[in-house]
Amino acid sequence: MIDFRSDTVTTPSDEMRAAARDAPVGDDVYRDDPTVNELEARAAELVGTEAALYVPSGTMGNQIAIRTHTDRGQELLCDEQAHVYKWELGGIPQLSGVQPRIVDCGERCVPTPGQVREGYVEEDLHRPGTGLLCLENTHNSRGGVAVPKADIDAAADAAHDLDVPVHLDGARFLNACVALDVDPAEMAERLDSVMFCLSKGLGAPVGSVLAGSEAFIERARRTRKLFGGAMRQAGLIAAPALRALDNVDRLVEDHEHAARLATGLNDIDGLSAPAPDTNIVMVNTEAAGLTGEALSAACKERDVTFHAFDDHTCRLCTHLDVDGDDVEEGLARIEAAVDEA
Ligand SMILES: *Cc1c(COP(=O)(O)O)cnc(C)c1O
């Protein structure tokens, strides 16, 4: 099976499995796990923050950040296609008692300073007040877009002028930094917190990191406990995650594979795919007379798997476990599926 469903499907390398076996561990709730401590220190250094916290998933990292930054009854401002709003089971109201206020950020993927000011709600007797601006980079639902640092900074500055903190859902933050050739610490410099996933393009079996100031991470540590995410001998999963941090530079290969995939899809009659910024390819199936579901089903019969994203779009993702040959073979099978459908 050639698996383009997501970069979450990678399985740990032999080196990662060996690292897990040999990891020194302790009770991380007592801060006694040297491997977790090392992972948190390295992650904080990578994104240029004072501290970082290892969390079981990206979703939990985002929701911990939201709960930690806000008070119940406040509002959170984000793009209408944001993962925190769209794909986290309504966690914003469920877990933090916070009301999302969405704006359509279009191709820019993050709000303009004007949209931040318009979306901002000042606290008074009747209005709840805006507690957080949440940005996303790369932007998943908008096609793995790498949002330039200037647009992130402009949104963050506008929020800070209103005393609103800024969290970045950076599940694929390092893909963005590699694609834009910007140092992660520079990319994160105006943000109050950043979450990035170890278990996507970097290939770790489990986990994400939430990074921010020491004071913020101290409070986030309590929220992690509240959400049931405080783990004990977590060094067993932090050790392969540490190895995953060595995979940052090779993300460029995933981006090259995605670019080749898009070119090849465009060469198939009836399919069109815009050139991707990173490792996510969105392909439109309408001119082939196929729904996204129909294409995905026909390809699955040929042992190529990916998801339909909406009526006439499929989403394909490249990652550590697909190489250049898989991309070529995948394209040949997709072409055969379209021809026969
Ligand atoms: C995958 C993803 C998450 C959530 O990560 P999980 O580890 O799957 O919970 C959050 N935000 C974005 C943009 C993502 O792509």
The residue whose CA is least distant from atom 6 of ligand 1 is 58
**Residue 289 CA, ligand 1 centroid: distance in Å:** 32
Tens-place pLDDT, residues 214-240: 999 999 999 999 999 999 999 999 999
Helix 251-266 to helix 324-340 angle (10° resolution) is 20
**Residue 273 CA, ligand 1 centroid: distance in Å:** 23
Tens-place pLDDT, residues 267-315: 999 999 999 999 999 999 999 999 999 999 999 999 999 999 999 999 9
| Residue of 157, 154, 149 whose CA lies nearest to 170 | 149
**Residue 335 CA, ligand 1 centroid: distance in Å:** 30
**Residue 317 CA, ligand 1 centroid: distance in Å:** 14
Which helix (H) or strand (E) is 51 found in, with range?
A: strand 51-55
Joined together, the tokens standing for residue 338 give 């379209």
59 Cα nearest atom in ligand 1? 9
Residues 6+ apart with CB under 8 A from 13: 203, 243
The residue whose CA is least distant from atom 1 of ligand 1 is 171
Ligand 1 shell residues, CB under 6 Å:
57-59, 62, 83, 136, 140, 169, 171, 197, 199, 208
141 Cα nearest atom in ligand 1? 13
138 Cα nearest atom in ligand 1? 13
pTM to 2 decimal places: 0.97
Q: Which residue among 139, 141, 169 is best mutated to probe the pocket of ligand 1, counting the most ligand atoms within 8 A of its Cβ?
A: 169
Tell me which residue has tokens 């008074």.
Answer: 124
Q: How much is the pLDDT for 341?
A: 83
Q: How much is the pLDDT for 262?
A: 98
Q: How much is the pLDDT for 29?
A: 97
Cβ-count burial of 101 within 10 angstroms (0-12 exposed, 13-18 middle, 19+ buried)?
A: middle
**Residue 125 CA, ligand 1 centroid: distance in Å:** 36
Tell me which residue has tokens 């925190």.
Answer: 84
Q: Which residues of the chain have pLDDT under 50?
A: none
Query: Residue type at 222?
Result: R
Which helix (H) or strand (E) is 328 found in, with range?
A: helix 324-340
57 Cα nearest atom in ligand 1? 7
